[in-house]
Structure 1
Amino acid sequence: MAGAGDDEDRQNLPGNWKGMLKFCIENTASEDSPSRPGPMDEETKKWLQEVFASLADNDPVKHMAENIQQLQQSCESEDDIHRHTDLLDDTQALCEDIDLAMDFQKMGAYGVVQGLLQSEHADIRWRAAQLIATVVQNNPHCQQKALETQLLPLLVHLADSDANMLVRVKALYAVSCLVRQFPEGEEAFVSVDGFSVLMRAMQSDEEKLQVKAAFLLANIMLSDPKHKDTLCDMGMIEQLMNLLRCEQAPYHEHLVRALVNLVTDHPRSLEECQRPQHALKDLLSQLMTDLQGKPEYLVSVTVNKLFIYHYIVLIIVNVLEKILFRIS
């Protein structure tokens, strides 16, 4: 009967020919290696042929290429839909490997996914968006190619107006992965009125959409200062304060972070926040009082995640108060 060591050995087996060679070299003791190899017998030759054939069949790049080819087939029946969703799930799992994500892009698969994002079936649309998010996240080359394929406007449209909420959430996640830490992507996002899309998302009733929108807004504020001017022009500061006056929710952490990032090194935003009509100091004081009065605020960090959330918000609110009113 195989033991735990056998399972570990199988998990360590390589998935490609180069890996196979490296594996063999590393796992062959020098005293076991013949100094003058002789002719290979037929049994050994047959075994090696079977091994390499098996490796070829399990090549993940080949597997992904086959998936992409099948995803181009029509999708009309229930069986077709199930096949496409399975293929998208499988391809997304493969693209968790950054090298395979690069291979995905090199295969020209963005065009295929672009069509799937426009499928009449929501289960296919949201999975296509999830796949794009996985491919482009923290991958500048794939971000650039996705931008060139005009995926961003389509994803922004889905995030803003798709009839299915899960599609909107996944599309906004894909947008976030595509533009964060990518200046050209941020510029493209602003050019398609992306900030308005984020505001509408934060005003929605879907918590996951609110969180993703506020998170992206807060992160974009850390980059080019001209984005701050754009946000001031569109009244974003007042909108953020109005949202903070709503009942406490997880996305408020990112709303306060967005305000902090917006006023930092930006006198125009600082001046706007200090206008008496906004009563922001009173709002922040009330926010701190509300948070400190919650039972979960007193619970140990190790047993209640809500404590962490409230503690983070308290820290950020304190920082914001100091920035805003240090000259008041």
Structure 2
Amino acid sequence: MSGEPPRQPKDMPGLLKFCLEATRGEDAVERPDDVLSSMDEERKAWLQEALNGMSVDVIEQLTNGMKILLSDTADLDQKEETLDCLEDWLGNIDNANNFHKIGGFSALKHCLNSNHPSLRTGSAHLVAELSQNNDYCQEKFTQDGFIQLLISQLDLDTDQACRVKAMYALSCICREYQPGLDKFCSLDGWSAVLRAIQSNEPKLRTKACFFLAAIATINSKIVEDLSKMGLVQQLSHVLHEPSDLTHEQVLHSILILVKQSEIARQDALLGELGLEKILNEKIVDMSGKEEFNESVEYCRQLLSLCFKEEESADR
């Protein structure tokens, strides 16, 4: 952006048409003039409010960016660069919210459905950034079907970077926004999170465990639901793998569950899991290595919480 003072929009109908033109498909037959004339007054006022809050420069940058992302003829490099620029342009909450009002989320959804991994990754990253501490964008992403798209990307995408960014985006939409979390649960999103934790991709496992722990810490109903799914048993199987840094997040997740749910604690005691044995082995294996200090502490807390109490009861 230039150092000149922002120019305020004067021709509001013209700017509305400019935004509508940006989101129009290249083969669409409907003209922006027709769309504008048929738009109800409430919707038109909503768009005008958004445009009033932005300079002409910002509107032009955003709408041109949208047009590039929706284009069938723009090349991949252009689209990748546009996603990077959008992150800079949408750095403040007002611009992020207004981006939705002028139709920008349709461009993000288009990129999430792209055949190019870089566009799926870039779009999911932008969804995450727009959602953080912004309940307006969280609401719109929830209403506009993004959660379902991102769960599918998390679960089925063949590109690991895309899966990692999808998990990041889901976490940002659903944390501290109950309607988003409810939608995520209704779409069986936790099963996809579990499969992410069971994957061999360290970044994906870490982000999935972080999301699980963040939600479980503040939502007792989710804890019970996850415990009934047998999550402790399934997480425990991951610990049978050779020790690595991702096990810290897995152990933390198990600890949060067993602290809050008797169902989870009873699952931890199941003999076939061999959890007590594996926790003791992990302590021996990881002790004395600074990077595993937290993991060792979680192991000790789990042993104390689950098995020492059990031993006392037996006596």
TM-score bracket, normalised by the shorter chain, equals 0.7 to 0.9
Match of 1:279 among 259, 265, 274: 274
**Corresponding residue number in structure 2 for 1:92:** 87
* Structural mapping, 1:100-139, within 5 Å: 100-139=95-134
The answer (yes or no) to whether the contact 1:61–1:103 under 8 Å persists in 2 is no
**How many Å apart are 1:150 and its aligned residue?**
0.7
Decide which of 63, 72, 75 is 1:74's aligned counterpart. Answer: 72
* Structure 1 residues 169-209: Cα deviation after superposition (integer angstroms, max 9, x where no partner): 21121111111222222221111111111121122222211
Identify the residue that residue 60 of structure 1 maps to in structure 2: 58
Structure 1 position 312, deviation (Å): 1.7
- Aligned equivalents of 1:280 and 1:206: distance in 2? 23
Equivalent-residue separation in structure 1 for 2:252 and 2:84 (angstroms): 34
2:298 maps to what in 1? 316
After TM superposition, the structure 1 = structure 2 runs for residues 183-194 of structure 1, keeping only pairs within 5 Å, are 183-194=178-189
Does the 8 A contact of 1:61 with 1:100 survive in 2? no
Q: Which residue of 1 aligns with 2:218?
A: 223
How far, CA to CA, are the matches of 2:243 and 2:184 in structure 1? 28
What TM-score do you get using the length of structure 2 for normalisation?
0.76
How far has the Cα of 1:241 moved from its partner?
0.6
The alpha-carbon deviation at position 165 of structure 1 amounts to 1.9
Distance 2:226 2:213 in 1: 12
Relative to 1, partners in 2 of residues 1:275 and 1:108: Cα closer, same or farther, differing over 3 Å? same
> Equivalents in 2 of 1:56, 1:171: separation in Å?
32
Partner of 1:7: none
Write the mapping of 1:11-30 to structure 2, written as runs, cut at 5 A.
Answer: 16=6
SS of 1:287's equivalent?
Answer: helix
CA distance in 1, matches of 2:212, 2:197: 10
Code of the residue aligned with 2:235 in structure 1: it is L
Equivalent position to 2:207, from 202, 212, 236: 212
The one-letter amino acid paired with 2:107 is V
Match for residue 196 of structure 1?
191
- What secondary structure is seen at the aligned counterpart in 1 of 2:218? coil
Aligned-partner Cα distance in 2 for 1:196–1:173: 16
1:56, CA displacement in angstroms? 5.7
Q: Which runs of 5+ in 1 are unaligned?
A: 1-10, 19-54, 298-306
Answering whether residue 146 of structure 2 is matched by residue 151 of structure 1, we say yes
Instruction: Quote the offset at 1:16 in angstroms.
Output: 4.2
Indicate if the aligned counterparts of 1:262 and 1:269 stay in contact, CA closer than 8 A. yes
What letter is aligned with 1:74? D
CA contact 1:218–1:261 (8 Å) conserved in 2: yes
Two-structure CA RMSD over aligned residues (Å): 2.4
Q: Does 1:264 align with 2:246?
A: no
Matches of 1:17 and 1:319, distance apart in 2: 60
1:289 paired residue number: 284
1:118, CA displacement in angstroms? 0.6
Aligned to 1:6: none
Structure 2, unmatched stretches of 5+, are 9-53, 311-315
Change in CA separation of 1:265 and 1:14 when aligned onto 2, cut-off 3 Å = farther
- The one-letter code matched in structure 1 to 2:71 is Q
Instruction: Select which of 128, 137, 156 maps to 1:161.
Output: 156
| CA distance in structure 1 between the aligned counterparts of 2:159 and 2:106, rounded to whole angstroms | 22
**Is the 8 Å Cα contact of residues 219 and 258 (structure 1) preserved in structure 2?**
no
Rounded to whole Å, the distance in 2 between the matches of 1:92 and 1:179 is 20
For 2:91 and 2:234, the matched residues in 1 are separated by 37
CA distance in 2, matches of 1:170, 1:217: 16
Aligned CA distance change for structure 1 residues 265 and 326 (closer, same or farther; 3 Å): farther
CA separation in 2, counterparts of 1:289 and 1:138? Answer: 41
Identity of aligned residues (%): 28
| Conserved 8 A contact 2:228-2:263 | no
Q: d(CA) in 2 for partners of 1:319 and 1:279? A: 16
- The amino acid that maps onto 1:71 is L
Superposition TM-score, scaled by structure 1 size: 0.74
The whole-number CA distance in structure 2 between the counterparts of 1:248 and 1:262 is 21
Task: Return the alpha-carbon distance in structure 2 between the equivalents of residues 279 and 153 of structure 1.
Answer: 36
1:33-70 residue CA offsets vs partner (Å, 9 max, x unmatched): xxxxxxxxxxxxxxxxxxxxxx967x435422331233
Larger Rg: 1
Q: CA offset at residue 17 of structure 1?
A: 7.1
